[in-house]
Chain A
Amino acid sequence: MKGFAPLFRKEMREQFKLYRLVIVCAIFLFFALSAPLTLKYLPDILKMAGEQNMIIQLPTPTAFMALSEFAGNIGQIGALIAVLMAMGGIANELKSGTAVMTLSKPVSRSAFVISKLLAVSITFLISMTAASLVCLGYTVWLIQGTAVWPFVGLNLLTGLFLIFCLAVTLLFSSLYKSSLAAGGLAIGVIIVQGIISAIPVIGKYMPGVLLSWGINLMSGPGADYWWALGITIAAIVACVYFAQQFLKNRDL
């Protein structure tokens, strides 16, 4: 891991300088505000838009509905943003030649890969934390109070799933000089694991079920997916390992 500290500092500076942190934060905050807001005021909006005698029955908005909708949006849109953010992480450096400039110094390939994953993960975690706090506060203010810890658990599981998406994307980014190819393959893997998540027997081992587990935490007693948690962490570690191996074994 030689050279990790300066590489990590550089990656974090890049998150600020290229406004990545601001952009991800802004998108997540949009979903944080829109989920409770929509639930609270949707009946009124429909009332204003509809005819006088039209009756639409909507359930009374609850904190669970607002927070789980927020988490669902972050899980899906967040995965897409994760791919967009990480697909050029290594591929663009390979293509432009900055990877050669950096790796011609005494730094290890693993430090190069891990610093990227950690920096972009921190960007996501900061954005998620800010968005979650705003969403929770806004939900309590507009709709009703709720238990905090299940919501923390939901966010942690969603965050881990997003780090998995980042790691998969970085893995493909180390394989190709084209960020589009890396992004396309990463989206493919995320979709495939999402489809497999719906298959009864093997689905419970897929990283995608972490999102369901998070919702279960919010709704009360439900299935937990410890195997999926372990497999997701193992997959993240494997992605980092293979990304640095690909970088070691390829000609730059």
Chain B
Amino acid sequence: MTAISAKGLSKYYDTVKAVDNLNLEVPENTVFGFLGPNGAGKTTTVKLFTGFAHPTAGEAWVAGEKVGDGNLALKAKIGLLPDVPAFYDWMSGRDFLHFVGELHGLTPTENNKRTEELLELVELKKHGNRRAGGYSRGMRQRLGIAQALMNRPQVLFLDEPTSALDPLGHRDVLNLILRLRENTTIFMSSHNLSDIERVCDMVGIVNKGKLITVSTVDALQKKYARSIFEMEFLEDAGQFVESLKKISWLAEPAIVSNNGTPVLRVRAIDIERARKELPRLIGESGLTLARYEMMLPSIEDIFAEIITNGEKK
């Protein structure tokens, strides 16, 4: 089942194409990372999916509901953490969650129960009676997540959920997302690559309003795998390096130092052939293999390559 879908979704501000012809399908119970540099159109996309921006063209569906202003059934099925969550400062965190529960039509008993569950979940129970105006940025972010979860949303939109958080707050929010992924589809926009790599199953990379690629994190890493193989041997591999230099589908074999450990690094010209035949060559060399690794790129490497060179065909 598809939790989020967009067909030709566009949003233009005069001549600026904030979102340009977005076509996207996000399956249910996926953590989808929407990755892009600042100004790429991430927040506008979240606003389009949640009905807070009117599309210039195209359509979107979230949790089976057509996105459009006034569709309150959609609001009942989603949760939203905006990029800067704002609260009525005179309310305590507990009061605010109660208020949100009332807006969702929870009975007083359900509301009390859910409020306490959420305060527990986001670790704000002991600060629940403090005014939200006095909360730190991390606490506000966690309260923002709690209010977005009040209705047990089918789809949760998190716009830059870790921005401006200190390392501890950052870690807490990511752990929270990991806990939520079991029951909810999460659409998370971010420019933080390591966050996406850590919590997302799928990633869409967007730049200048255009969705450049959509894939699972694993598939992206394979697609953008650099053709570098690294090996560590218990013996000196000098002779083996010389033999590799004669092979036409390999290039630049060399011993390099990795934190003082000698590592044989070689680039494959024909990656598929190298995958198949390199292990055989190692076996024939008579060396004792300690480590063999095809170097996978980090999402950071992939992002940099896509933003600079466009999508790899």
A-to-B contact residues, CB < 8 Å: 2-3, 5-7, 9-10, 14, 17-18, 96-98, 100-109, 248-249, 251-252
Which of A10, A18, A106, A252 meets B72, CB within 8 Å?
Answer: A106
Report 6 cross-chain contacts, Cβ distance below 8 Å, ordered by A residue: A6-B99, A104-B78, A105-B100, A105-B103, A108-B70, A109-B70
List A contacts of B84 (CB < 8 A).
97
B52 and A252 contact, CB distance less than 8 A: yes
B249 within 8 A of A: no
| Residue of chain A at shortest CB distance from B48 | A251
B115: min CB distance to chain A, Å: 14
Contacts of A97 in B (CB 8 A): 82, 84-86
Contact with A along B63-104 (1 / 0, CB 8 A): 000000110110110111010111110100000000110111
Q: Is the beta-carbon distance between B75 and A105 smaller than 8 angstroms?
A: yes
Return A125 CB to nearest CB of chain B, in Å.
23
Other A-B pairs beyond A106-B73, A107-B72, A248-B69, 6, CB < 8 Å: A6-B103, A98-B87, A98-B88, A105-B103, A107-B75, A251-B47
Once A106-B76, A248-B70, A251-B53 are accepted as A-B contacts, the answer to whether A10 and B99 lie under 8 Å apart by CB is yes
B104 surroundings in chain A (CB, below 8 A): 105-106
Which residues from chain A contact B88 at a C-beta distance below 8 Å? 10, 14, 98
Query: Is B189 close to A, CB under 8 A?
Result: no
A249 vs B103: C-alpha distance in the bound complex, in angstroms? 22
Closest partner residue, chain A, to B102 (CB atom):
A6
Q: Which residues of B contact A251 (CB under 8 A)?
A: 47, 52-54
On whether the beta carbons of A107 and B103 are closer than 8 Å, the reply is yes
Which residues of the partner chain A approach B47 to less than 8 Å between Cβ atoms? Answer: 251-252
Residue of B nearest to A248 (CB): B69
A-side contacts of B52, CB under 8 Å: 100, 103-104, 251-252
Is B147 interfacial (CB 8 A cutoff)? yes
Q: Identify the B interface with A (CB < 8 A).
A: 47, 50, 52-54, 69-70, 72-73, 75-76, 78-80, 82, 84-88, 90, 99-100, 102-105, 144, 147-148, 151
> Which residues of A lie under 8 Å from residue B73 when comparing CB positions?
106
Contact between B82 and A101, CB atoms less than 8 A apart:
yes
User: Cα distance A97–B147 when bound, in Å?
Assistant: 14
User: What residues of chain A lie closer than 8 Å to B100, measured between beta carbons?
Assistant: 105
Most buried by B among A3, A9, A102, A251: A251
Q: In the assembled complex, which residues on chain A have CB atoms less than 8 Å from the CB atom of B103? A: 3, 6-7, 102, 105-107
Give Cα A101 to B75, complex, Å.
11
Tell me, in angstroms, the Cα distance from A7 to B100 when the chains sit together: 10
Residues of A within 8 A of B72 (CB): 2, 106-108
For residue A18, which residues in chain B have a CB less than 8 angstroms away from its CB? 90
- Residue of A6, A10, A100, A109 near B86 (CB, 8 A) is A100
Contact of A249 among B50, B54, B82, B85 (CB under 8 A): B54
State whether B70 touches A101 (Cβ < 8 A): no
Q: Is the CB of A14 within 8 A of B90?
A: yes
Cβ-defined contact, A104 with B50, below 8 A: yes
Q: Which 9 A-B pairs have the closest CB atoms?
A: A97-B86, A6-B102, A105-B103, A104-B80, A106-B72, A106-B75, A251-B53, A106-B76, A252-B52
A102 partner residues in chain B, CB cutoff 8 A: 103
Considering the chains assembled together, what is the distance between the CA atoms of A108 and B103 in angstroms?
10
A70, B78: Cα distance in complex, Å: 52
Q: Quick one: closest A residue to B157, CB to CB?
A: A104
A64 to chain B, nearest CB (A): 43
User: Contacts of A17 on B, CB cut-off 8 Å?
Assistant: 90
Residue ID in chain B nearest A6 by CB atoms: B102
Complex Cα distance A222/B187, Å? Answer: 67
Q: How far is the CA of A9 from the CA of B86 in the complex (A)?
A: 19
Look across to chain B and name the residue whose beta carbon is closest to the beta carbon of A17.
B90
Task: Give every chain B residue within 8 A of A109 (Cβ-Cβ).
Answer: 70
Q: Which residue of B lies closest to A16 (CB)?
A: B90
- In the bound complex, CA of A129 to CA of B88 (Å): 29
A91 to chain B, nearest CB (A): 14
Which B residues lie within 8 Å of A248 (CB)? 69-70
